[in-house]
Structure 1
Amino acid sequence: MNTPLPATVRFDRGPQAADRESFRAARRKAAARALLLALPLLVFLLVTFVAPIASLLGRSVRNPEVRVGMPELSAALAGWSAAGVPGEPAFAALVHDLKDAGENGQLGNIARRMNFYQPEFRSLLFKTARATRSQTFAQWKPALIELDPRWNAPETWRLLKRASISPTPDYLLNAVDAKVGPDGSVTPVAADSAVYRAAFGRTVTISATVTLLCLLFGYPVAYLLATLPEKQSNRLMLFVIIPFWTSLLVRATAWYVLLQPGGVINSALMSFGFVNHPLPLVFNRTGVLIGMTHILLPYMILAIYSVMKNVSPVYMRAAKSLGAHPAEAFARVYIPQTLPGVGAGCFLVFVLALGYYITPALLGGAGDEMISQLIASQTNDQLNWGLAGALSCYLVVFTAVFYFIFNRLVGIDRLRFG
């Protein structure tokens, strides 16, 4: 029979609550100390990595040149319906802003921005700025139309209106070979002007091919390193690690020397009589695949090897003892246990290949340009940072998409190294 406790009996929970609070305070203090220790690294990554990338991606939608350099024209065109040619206020605002832009040095940036929309727009703006610098007319509209008939074309003003809008989708559309038509609909550019969609497809194709080649060559090597005695495995591992000590540019240049028509490989093949003339091994897709596979192969080997080292040989012996053929045991027992390493290696190689620049530039031909080369061209040669940011934005999106695909297939987020 249970006897109820007297009403005066109370459990003293004070010490337990105090211990829990003390434990929480200790954990908060330890977390704060860890955060302070990692703070310099976080600030360094933020300043040197996150901020520049965010700034470049932000340029894909920013459109400040015309909006800032020609404020009166931007305001005048904001209420224009884009039908026909705007009235006299827009022409007067254009002349006034051209004079101000020429004086403060912004005319060059404006002209370069408009030239991205339409070739020879730069010459139109500079021609108009020179002609109106020292002249005054009561009506600027007929004067400018007489100066250049292009000012009587609605398309000229429509492009100026689009250039005055910020943020803008134009860069993101240009990066996939599309544009906004006169009626406001999105239309593809002319077939002879389409460049970037083919470049994206080519980049993915090359990256996937390199990933497959690295897997075919890297899996047997990783298996050999994982199953050999430790002493022999460590010696062979040096041949995998040594390439990391050599500059990427040096390795790509070495392949250029080896693969050229008068290089070591072609000379050897011709000396032994295997071929009668040099094989085309460089300045084409073959040279790109050879160079990128050689450079990225260690990443695949190390990712798979780290998982294979943790696979116990007991499972294979158990499968063989139950009557399984060695090949069947390897395919059905061993390979599934190494899939996280395979997924991590494939993802790592694929993502690195997506952004490769030096190797395709040195070993590839005109038809082997990858997105990274086009980004470099837009930033260094064309000075079109907006389009470069848009291409980079799509590259980041592709990387995220492929990460979720790889993670869905093989669960690379569950990989543990060591």
Structure 2
Amino acid sequence: MSDATQPDTAIAGPVLAADGTPLKRSLARSLRVQKMRAMALIAPLLIFVLVSFIIPIGSMLFRSVENGMVEQTLPLTVVELQNWDASTGDLPDEQLYAAFVADMVVAIDAKRHTRLGTRLNYEQTGMSSLFRKSGRKIKKLDPATDGPFKEQLIDIDKKWGEHETWAVIKTHSVAITNGYFLNAIDMQRTPDGAQAQPEDKRILITLFKRTLIMSMIITCSCIALAYPVAWLLANLPARSANMLMILVLLPFWTSLLVRTSAWKVMLQQQGVINDVLVWLGMVSDASRLVLINNQTGTIIAMTHILLPFMILPMYSVMRTIQPTYLRAAKSMGATNWTAFWRVYFPLSVPGIGAGSILVFILSIGYYITPEIVGGTKGVFISNRIAYHISSSLNWGLAAALGTILLAVVLILYWAYDKIVGIDNVKLG
């Protein structure tokens, strides 16, 4: 048999790149370089988000369980408290009092005892003044020579001779605590375990319920008002639609504080709305409506403020719905209502979903509007969080409230995804 008829049995070698390296390895190296360049481009943004957003939020959330104040300020006392059985009802022995005086002398020199008193005052009223007043006299004591200290401390303030005082210190001497979360749901950490707060202090659960219910009402109000406006925007001629869009966007050009203050003026009993109702004869001058400093005022003002956030997602979806769909439905015998309800409305649902999520999440975290027009009956849980951050300085409780609010939002988001499907949410 001639060589021309011999089968080609040569085995082809690996495909090489221009530089002689295997093509597969060369492609992998090229992709790796491209990924590194892409990471280098977005690295400044990632670092900015990490430093200015993720780390501060993580630090704040950690405050909801962090409780090192007692252990850091009274290290010797905390050790002795571990050996004291609070359930017997007996006072601690002299050794614990001596350790407490030694810790307090150091804390007073560092001016940390007042901070400790403030921390314990969150759990039991009067602890702040106890540490502040006792500090003036304890700093004169010498832990090495002025003992015994049990009777001296009781003479300084009789509360040092009460079992409850030491029980509170021991209960809240742990480094990681669930006390803030218990306080956030109207309970408290006690030597006997978690217990309900006194009746006059149970307000936070009420605020959580009010926040969720009113946010749902505001969301539904925005849907009802935004749908016809979005429909007009999507179906009017371009010139009229542009003018209407300017009116929708106009509130964004005005300060939120100004808009909220304007509603405060309009909703008063002697305000514009009541004056118009009296002029129309719908109410008498003696029975003007109370629309301010209550839930009604908060709902009205927040619906107006959040309405554009509902209109824009709806409009962006509705403008993609072809008019031919409705004409086709009518040509097959559908009435105007049937064509709308069976064809147009289902196609607009993604816009409703996007706007609802946006408005609901914004509303549960709103602070300025409920603070100005809500009074005591229309405030949200966010107002309480702001109070604990800026006034009471109970950052641990504020962090716990924020964490619970975040968890509620995530749960509702998860439920929405299971029921409706987040993939069906569109912004256009």
- Scaled by the length of structure 1, the TM-score of the pair is 0.92
Q: Measure, in 2, the Cα distance between the counterparts of 1:394 and 1:9.
A: 67
Change in CA separation of 1:25 and 1:329 when aligned onto 2, cut-off 3 Å: farther
Moved more, 207-216 or 398-407: 398-407
Report the alpha carbon displacement of residue 4 of structure 1 after superposing the two structures with TM. Answer: 11
Task: Choose which of 374, 384, 388 in structure 1 pairs with 2:394.
Answer: 384
Q: 1:308-347, CA deviations, whole angstroms, 9 ceiling, x for partnerless residues?
A: 1222233323322232222122212222222221111111
2:325 to 312, 315, 320: 315
2:308 is the counterpart of 1:298: yes
Structure 2: distance between partners of 1:152 and 1:240: 67
Name the residue aligned to 2:187.
178
- Give the letter aligned to residue 184 of structure 2: A
- Post-superposition shift, 1:218? 0.7
Would the aligned equivalents of 1:178 and 1:187 in 2 still touch at CA under 8 Å? yes
Sort the Cα spacing of 1:292 and 1:5 in 2 relative to 1 into closer, same or farther, 3 A: farther
Deviation (angstroms), 1:45: 2.0
Out of 371, 380, 387, the residue aligned to residue 381 of structure 2 is 371
CA distance in 2, matches of 1:237, 1:319: 29
Aligned to 1:196: 204
Deviation at 1:99?
Answer: 1.5
Residue equivalent to 1:91: 97
Distance 1:212 1:120 in 2: 45
Choose 320-329 or 386-395, whichever is displaced more. Answer: 320-329
Equivalence for 1:101: 107
**Which consecutive unaligned segments of at least 5 residues does structure 2 have?**
none
Alpha-carbon distance change, 69 to 280 in structure 1, aligned in 2, over 3 angstroms: same
Using the alignment, how far apart are the partners of 2:82 and 2:152 within structure 1?
23
1:107-128 deviation per Cα after TM superposition (whole angstroms, max 9, x unaligned)? 1101101111111112222333
Task: Give the secondary structure class of the aligned counterpart of 1:164.
Answer: coil
Aligned partners of 2:386 and 2:80: how far apart in 1? Answer: 36
1:237 matched residue in structure 2: 245
Which residue of the other structure, out of 143, 158, 163, is the alignment partner of 1:154?
A: 163
Amino acid of the structure 2 residue aligned with 1:265? I
Match of 1:77 among 81, 90, 96: 81
Alignment CA distance shift 1:48-1:128 (3 Å): same
Q: 1:24 to 1:150 in 2, by over 3 A?
A: same
2:39 to 35, 41, 46: 35
Deviation at 1:209, TM superposition (A): 0.7
Task: Provide closer, same or farther for how the CA distance between residues 254 and 25 of structure 1 changes in structure 2, counting only shifts above 3 A.
Answer: farther
Unaligned 5+ segments in structure 1 are none
Deviation at 1:26, TM superposition (A): 3.6
Alpha-carbon distance between aligned partners in 2 of 1:25 and 1:339, rounded to the nearest angstrom: 46
Matched, 1:215 2:223: yes
In the alignment, which residue of structure 2 is the partner of 1:8? 10
CA distance in 2, matches of 1:22, 1:333: 53
CA RMSD of aligned residues (A): 2.3
Amino acid at match of 1:81: D
Per-residue deviation, 1:389: 0.8
Q: How does 1:317-356 map to 2 (within 5 A)?
A: 317-356=327-366
Aligned length: 415
Aligned residue type for 1:228: L
Cα displacement (A) at 1:21: 4.2
Q: Distance in 1 between matches of 2:212 and 2:176?
A: 29
- Tell me how far apart the structure 2 counterparts of residues 311 and 54 of structure 1 sit (CA, whole Å): 43
The residue matched to 1:198 in structure 2 has which SS?
helix
CA contact (8 A) 2:293 2:377 kept: no
Query: Which stretch shifts more, 18-27 or 87-96?
Result: 18-27
Deviations 1:378-411 (A, max 9, x none): 1111011111111111111112112112222322
Contact 1:340–1:412 at 8 Å: present in 2 too? Answer: no
Q: Which moved more, 1:63-72 or 1:375-384?
A: 63-72
Q: Deviations over 1:355-399 (max 9, x none)?
A: 111101111121222111101111111011111111111111112
Cα contact 1:172–1:390 (8 A) shared by 2: yes
Residue identity in the other structure for 2:264: Y
Task: Compare 348-357 and 218-227 and name the one that shifted more.
Answer: 218-227
Selected match of 2:420 from 405, 410, 414: 410
* Structure-2 residue corresponding to 1:359: 369
